[in-house]
């Protein structure tokens, strides 16, 4: 398994690149998320689009960056996940959005344990209340190979991660009440605590 910080978005509502925002301790959100994934004992990367690469070079070593591959004809986060899959086709991918700055390592490790006890699934994801959390999920190598084939054949009409998880018949783990606060997704300056 590898870890993938999703930082390749456009951050339009935030008004600046979310992955480069500073945490209270001074590191950037992308580095904070990357450190959390590494703390789970897996090799981790930060997924970016090519326009962002230079802005991250002062914070993250090039060997820890995976750029979106332009040949993947899919928009949004699935492009970044499939780009990582093509680089590491035999590895399951634990995905964490950089804009979930309150995420705890314990939640990531719980999801990894959930995968172990539900090995028949092709993806494993949290559900926070009624909301599925596709940016804190594990996508299997086998499942991503299926999704990539659909993308290449233009047979994946919806490329949202929710529709991808539906296609993979993901195993769903409810978020406990005490952990719900860790799943805050910050999309605008008002949401930053």
Contact status, residue 125 vs residue 134, Cβ threshold 8 Å: yes
Question: pLDDT (tens digit, 9 = 90+) per residue, 149-164?
Answer: 999 998 887 878 999 9
Q: Report residue 3 CA to chain centroid gap.
A: 8
Q: Looking at residue 15, what is its pLDDT?
A: 46
Q: Looking at residue 65, what is its pLDDT?
A: 93
Contacts of 17 (CB under 8 A, 6+ apart): 7, 11, 52, 55
Q: Looking at residue 12, what is its pLDDT?
A: 44
Number of domains into which the chain is organized: 1
Q: Is the pLDDT of residue 64 over 50?
A: yes
Question: pLDDT (tens digit, 9 = 90+) per residue, 82-99?
Answer: 999 999 999 999 999 998
Range of the structural domain that residue 20 is part of: 2-191
Q: How far apart are CA 69 and CA 82, in angstroms?
A: 8
Contacts of 23 (CB under 8 A, 6+ apart): 29, 32, 101
CATH of residue 36: 3.90.550.10
């Amino acid at each position: 398994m590898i870890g993938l910080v999703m930082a390749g978005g456009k951050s339009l509502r935030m008004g600046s690149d979310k992955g480069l925002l500073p945490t209270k301790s001074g590191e950037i959100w992308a580095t904070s998320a990357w450190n959390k994934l590494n703390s789970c004992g897996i090799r981790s990367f930060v997924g970016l689009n090519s326009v962002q690469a230079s802005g991250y070079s002062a914070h993250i070593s090039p060997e820890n960056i995976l750029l979106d591959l332009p040949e993947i004809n899919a928009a949004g986060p699935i492009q970044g996940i499939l780009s990582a899959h093509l680089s590491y086709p035999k590895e399951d991918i634990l995905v964490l959005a950089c804009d979930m700055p309150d995420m705890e390592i314990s939640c990531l490790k719980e999801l990894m344990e959930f995968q172990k006890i539900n090995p028949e699934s092709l993806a494993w994801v949290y559900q926070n209340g009624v909301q599925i959390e596709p940016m804190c999920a594990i996508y299997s190598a086998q499942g991503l190979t299926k999704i990539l084939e659909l993308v290449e054949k233009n047979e994946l009409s919806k490329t949202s991660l929710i529709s991808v998880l539906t296609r993979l018949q993901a195993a769903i783990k409810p978020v406990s009440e005490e952990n719900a606060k860790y799943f805050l997704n910050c999309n605008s300056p008002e949401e930053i605590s």
